[in-house]
A and B are shown apart, each in its own frame.
Chain A
Amino acid sequence: DAMVIQNPRYQVTQFGKPVTLSCSQTLNHNVMYWYQQKSSQAPKLLFHYYDKDFNNEADTPDNFQSRRPNTSFCFLDIRSPGLGDAAMYLCATSRSGQDNNQPQHFGDGTRLSIL
């Protein structure tokens, strides 16, 4: 089945130690997103890629960066994690189009804990 896969499902890191979360997709969608979600609140968009074009949200901290080496993979790098960065990180994909009715397809997320 075509899907969005996030690895690992659970990640523990130390305060200030860089960490990378990964996402892969077999849907061949050209748009990929990273969200931060805390305690079943609404997902908060960090950034998205439209093909190779990177789009950062204005309130995304500089501590968060992303890479998309090809259509299938996207990475979230947290350079110096703080306690406030403990959250569920969700990757999603969608098709682009002239209309706005394309849903997003989510992975199961990576739960990040900071020691």
Chain B
Amino acid sequence: GDSVTQMEGPVTLSEEAFLTINCTYTATGYPSLFWYVQYPGEGLQLLLKATKADDKGSNKGFEATYRKETTSFHLEKGSVQVSDSAVYFCALSDRNTGGFKTIFGAGTRLFVKA
């Protein structure tokens, strides 16, 4: 079945460091890919998405490119801030997962130190 694998955390960075969180997927169909962020005590929020190969999603300085050849959707940010400390979830949605369901990765916790 479909699945999402993302790098284990926690990831600890200093402010203004470069961030990469790796995400790879397996899917029988042609999925849409998402990154969600969860701040402490809150629900998940959509950070960015990409719906076809070579699409780049971007928001709030974060970027991720849909790479079909490597089945990857790595999250990057050039300069992290303390306020970026959160848990990041990679996810996919595929017609083959049963219509409207989303498959989530296990999440990667990011700590950013001042």
C-alpha spacing A41/B44, complex, angstroms: 12
Q: Which residues of B contact A42 (CB under 8 A)?
A: 89, 104-107
**A48 pairs with B100, CB closer than 8 A:** yes
**A108 pairs with B93, CB closer than 8 A:** no
Scoring A41, A50, A94, A103 by chain B CB atoms within 10 A of each residue's CB, the highest score goes to: A103
Scoring B41, B44, B89, B105 by chain A CB atoms within 10 A of each residue's CB, the highest score goes to: B44
Q: Which residues of B contact A50 (CB under 8 A)?
A: 99-100
**A48 pairs with B43, CB closer than 8 A:** no
A81 contacts chain B at the CB level, 8 A cutoff: no
**What's the tally of chain B residues with a CB closer than 8 Å to chain A?**
29
A70 contacts chain B at the CB level, 8 A cutoff: no
C-alpha spacing A90/B104, complex, angstroms: 14
Query: What is the CB-to-nearest-CB distance from B86 to chain A, in angstroms, rounded to a whole number?
Result: 10
Query: What is the CB-to-nearest-CB distance from A78 to chain B, in angstroms, rounded to a whole number?
Result: 19
**A106-B43 contact, Cβ under 8 Å, with A41-B107, A48-B100, A100-B31:** yes
The number of residue pairs between A and B whose CB atoms lie closer than 8 Å in the complex comes to 62
**A103 pairs with B46, CB closer than 8 A:** yes
**B44 pairs with A102, CB closer than 8 A:** no
C-alpha spacing A40/B40, complex, angstroms: 9
C-alpha spacing A109/B87, complex, angstroms: 15
**What's the tally of chain A residues with a CB closer than 8 Å to chain B?**
26
| Contact for A102 among B36, B93, B94, CB less than 8 A | B93
**B51 pairs with A96, CB closer than 8 A:** no
Closest to B89 in A: A42
Q: Which residues of A contact B44 (CB under 8 A)?
A: 43, 90, 92, 104, 106
The contact string, 1 if C-beta is below 8 Å from chain A, for chain B 89-108, is: 10001110011111011110
Q: List 21 A-B contacts (CB under 8 A).
A: A6-B43, A40-B38, A41-B107, A42-B89, A42-B104, A42-B106, A43-B44, A45-B101, A48-B100, A48-B101, A92-B43, A92-B44, A99-B51, A100-B31, A100-B93, A100-B95, A102-B93, A104-B44, A104-B102, A105-B46, A106-B43
Q: Which residues of B contact A (CB under 8 A)?
A: 29, 31-32, 34, 36, 38, 41-46, 49, 51, 87, 89, 93-95, 98-102, 104-107, 109
